[in-house]
Chain A
Amino acid sequence: NAGVMQNPRHLVRRRGQEARLRCSPMKGHSHVYWYRQLPEEGLKFMVYLQKENIIDESGMPKERFSAEFPKEGPSILRIQQVVRGDSAAYFCASSPLGQEGQYFGPGTRLTVT
């Protein structure tokens, strides 16, 4: 029973490039959440999605960031024109229902050079 999967685990991008982070939820889970963690800080909520719907994107920066969870395939967090301040660990979590405990993936560590 595979857990939440994220890839890539590590991603290096130069300033101005695009970063695409993928998340496959646990089997049977239809709710996906993205969080960002800066070094030595707690996780900060970014966006909450169900299949083909964005439920809450209140934590997403207004520009350059977008997320989707298509009917088929993984959820994608996309960061356009990356800047050094985007360097962080990005975690995806999933749950079977919106009110249950969330299960996290191993994260993608983005480094912007």
Chain B
Amino acid sequence: GESVGLHLPTLSVQEGDNSIINCAYSNSASDYFIWYKQESGKGPQFIIDIRSNMDKRQGQRVTVLLNKTVKHLSLQIAATQPGDSAVYFCAEPGSNAGGTSYGKLTFGQGTILTVHP
């Protein structure tokens, strides 16, 4: 069946390093992806999204890369800070019978990012 999943469940980095969090998806028809950050005790926070007509999108200190050939998505965080410590999820909207994406999100398992000072 369709799924969105992550390669690594945990990632530890030193403050100032760059972090890369990966995500694999199985539905080749997927056309929209979102990265969320969830801090302990809080709701998921929208970080960045990307549509399938792009292979790269940049935000503030974050970059999302999309490789449709291998169905792989990554989130890069530059100069990681202790405040970046959280669980990161990739997510993908669902599809109806006609194949059109709509709002239901399927979340990956999540990667725990720990940033050491």
Contact = CB atoms under 8 A, between A and B. Distances in A.
Interface of B: 32, 34, 36, 42-46, 49, 89, 93-94, 101-110
Contacts of A80: none
A83 B24 CA distance: 35
Nearest to B5: A42
Contacts, number: 61
Chain A interface mostly: strand
Interface of A: 4, 31, 33, 35, 42-45, 48, 55-56, 58-59, 91, 93, 95, 98-99, 101-107
A98 B103 contact: yes
A104 B44 contact: yes
Contact of B103 (A48, A104, A105): A48
Contacts of B107: 42-44
